[in-house]
Amino acid sequence: MAKIYIDKNNFYTNLDIITKLTNDVNKIAIVLKDNAYGHSLDIISELASSYGVMNAVVRDEFEALQIKDKFKSIIILNDFPSKAENNFSYVVNDISMLSKISDKVNIELKVDTGMGRNGISFNQIIEAFEIINARELKLIGVMSHYFNADVDSKDFDIQKKQFDKIKKIVKNLYSSKLRFHIANSAGTIRGFSDDLARVGIAAYGAIEIAKNLCPYDFKPVLSLEANIISTRTIDKGDIVGYGASFKSKEHCVVSNYDFGYADGFRRSLSNDFTAKSGEKLVGRISMDNSSFLGKSKVISIFDDVREVSGKCETISYEILTALNCKIKREVK
């Protein structure tokens, strides 16, 4: 099968930049959801922990349990607790959850500041704290999420002001010390001033943000290579792949490689992609393999996912998280 390489030095270079932005490595919360954006939960959690990152963010309890011994604090974005772990905190995405959740687990209250997705509304804050105080729930944080910080718009400033307003209200409603956090990667780059920076795509060096907003050189962490399966010489008029979408115009050598759409290779790239190492893709991408001109034993599909996402008219997140978890990941 194809192989994915994780560049440790590039990852640490990105964390160096983020540490300067937060002024404290203890304020970094590395986002590890969905197999660390396709990079490998095991590998990235180990690298981040070794760097000194003490906080992590995951999608669910299943992911959290795999890394529970590596971080001081793990935020679980979308799950209902089945057990109480001292370093787990569960995000409350809807006010109804406050009446159902155990008073033995840590919670983080999410407030919607304009994204219109998860979180209680601004008008529900007082009601939420009435429930929290009455039930003596273990609230440790209040959070929100920037929805448009990667583009040059007024939304960022509007949300930031809204969250600052929320912080003042909350401090009057709750006597214990809380942590506040709203910043994602783009928000951290544009101006960090809270207790945690939930950083994912910047740490992986695949952030896509308006150039005037980001003067920093984040390095791509993930690269992908494919291995040869077979080679053949074809003549003018011969076809390659399903649907006869490629018909050779000349005598040439074509090789098949172990990376297909089941591994995350977008089928829309069929007949319209050149590998980073220079080989031209021919024919339709198959489920488990794809064909390129040439006979190299190993080819580099990409070393910067943003080049692929741009070609596919999508975002780097979608390409990365679609990479088959069975593909071996290796630190280099």
Instruction: For residue 161, give every residue at least 6 positions away whose Cβ sits within 8 Å of its Cβ, in sequence order, or none.
Output: none
Nearest to 316, CA basis, from 228, 186, 192: 186
Nearest to 218, CA basis, from 16, 52, 55: 16
27, 33, 70, 110: which one is catalytic? Answer: 33
pLDDT tens, residue by residue, 277-292 = 999 999 999 999 999 9
Strand partners, 255: 231, 292
pLDDT tens, residue by residue, 127-177 = 999 999 999 999 999 999 999 999 999 999 999 999 999 999 999 999 999
Separation of alpha carbons 288 and 285, rounded Å = 8
pLDDT-above-70 percentage for the chain: 100
Q: Go through 108-125 and write b for each residue having 16 or more CB atoms within 10 A of its CB, e for each that does not.
A: bbbbbbbeeebbbeeebb
Which tokens go with 62? 């299943």
Separation of alpha carbons 328 and 332, rounded Å = 13
Element housing 133 (H / E): helix 125-135
Residue 33 among the catalytic residues: yes
pLDDT tens, residue by residue, 198-242 = 999 999 999 999 989 999 999 999 999 999 999 999 999 999 999
Separation of alpha carbons 264 and 230, rounded Å = 21
pLDDT value of residue 83 = 81
Q: Is the pLDDT of residue 54 over 90?
A: yes
Strand partners, 57: 31, 75
Give whole-number Cα distances, 130 to 78, 80, 95, 120, 141, in Å: 23, 21, 11, 14, 16
Q: Which domains does the chain have, with CATH numbers?
A: 8-213 (3.20.20.10), 222-303 (2.40.37.10)
- Owner of token pair 């997140």: 317
Residue 242 among the catalytic residues: yes
pLDDT value of residue 23 = 97
Handedness of CA 50, 41, 110, 88 (dihedral sign): negative
Separation of alpha carbons 178 and 303, rounded Å = 41
Q: What is the rounded average pLDDT for all residues in the chain? A: 97
104, 161, 171, 242: which one is catalytic? Answer: 242
